[in-house]
Chain A
Amino acid sequence: GDQVEQSPSALSLHEGTGSALRCNFTTTMRAVQWFQQNSRGSLINLFYLASGTKENGRLKSTFNSKESYSTLHIRDAQLEDSGTYFCAAVSTGYQNFYFGKGTSLTVIP
């Protein structure tokens, strides 16, 4: 089965609002990375976390290895935030990342 489960699969936000995207893990992970895939298909690094919380502008991410989840919070959503957001995580004892299937975000004017 899938080791990384992302939710929701799709999300619509009005400009200026916010929400949280979540990844749940079915095994213990030691690091997580979040990406945005934009309309041109490019994968943009957002965060890499081995633990705790990181913040960058309107984005904030948390990784809780013990409880097997990670979240990406978006506040004050802008049109350019539209795209697909992926999390990828690497399990203990393994070296490569497993990707979730993504959350498709649409920001509405």
Chain B
Amino acid sequence: EAAVTQSPRNKVAVTGGKVTLSCNQTNNHNNMYWYRQDTGHGLRLIHYSYGAGSTEKGDIPDGYKASRPSQENFSLILELATPSQTSVYFCASGEGTAGTQYFGPGTRLLVL
């Protein structure tokens, strides 16, 4: 079974602070994704990556940056956190283009 881990699992941040969410996968998948989940919206794609060194904007990228320093690691960065970014964030890795996605356990972020 695919293995995707996220850290931290819970985070409280202050408005205007910098937040980094980390994701690690041991599946050797080229594709990785960051989503946020909010009540009434399902999951929405923030950023994704096709491999080390690449990042692409998803459907809701404003206020977020991403970094893919290696095949295994994909980070989501909130340079200036705002309360509207309070959410549950999921990382996923995927088999090829539009292939099966495997999700991490999620990170609960509260921005005060």
A contact residues around B43 at 8 Å (CB): 86, 88, 99
Interface size class of A (residues with CB under 8 A): 20 to 34
Q: Mark B73-112, 1 if CB is under 8 A from A, else 0.
A: 0000000000000001010000001111111011000000
What separation, in Å, do the CA atoms of A45 and B101 have in the docked complex? 8
Q: Is A101 within 8 A of B100, CB to CB?
A: no
Nearest-neighbour CB distance to chain B for A29, whole angstroms, equals: 10
Chain A contacts with B in 12-51, Cβ cutoff 8 A: 30-31, 33, 35, 40-43, 45, 48
Q: Is B42 within 8 A of A99, CB to CB?
A: yes
What separation, in Å, do the CA atoms of A33 and B97 have in the docked complex? 13
Please tell me which one of the listed residues B40, B48, B100 contacts residue A33 in the complex, with CB atoms under 8 A apart.
B100
Stretch of A59-67, A72-80, A89-97 lying at the B interface: A89-97
Nearest-neighbour CB distance to chain B for A91, whole angstroms, equals: 9
Report the tally of A-B residue pairs with Cβ distances under 8 A. Answer: 47
Q: Is A31 within 8 A of B98, CB to CB?
A: yes
Please tell me which one of the listed residues B42, B88, B103 contacts residue A100 in the complex, with CB atoms under 8 A apart.
B42
Closest-by-CB residue of B relative to A86 is B42
User: Which secondary structure characterizes the binding site on chain A?
Assistant: strand
Chain B contacts with A in 30-51, Cβ cutoff 8 A: 33, 35, 40-45, 48
Closest-by-CB residue of B relative to A31 is B98
A contact residues around B40 at 8 Å (CB): 101
Please tell me which one of the listed residues A45, A86, A96 contacts residue B33 in the complex, with CB atoms under 8 A apart.
A96
Q: Is A95 within 8 A of B101, CB to CB?
A: no
Nearest-neighbour CB distance to chain B for A36, whole angstroms, equals: 11
Most buried by B among A42, A88, A96, A101: A96
New contact pairs (4) apart from A43-B90, A99-B35, CB-CB < 8 Å: A45-B103, A90-B98, A96-B48, A101-B41
Which residues of A are in contact with B by a Cβ distance under 8 Å?
Answer: 30-31, 33, 35, 40-43, 45, 48, 86, 88, 90, 94-97, 99-102
Show 5 residue pairs from A and B whose CB-CB distance is below 8 angstroms, ordered by the A residue: A40-B105, A42-B106, A43-B103, A48-B100, A101-B40
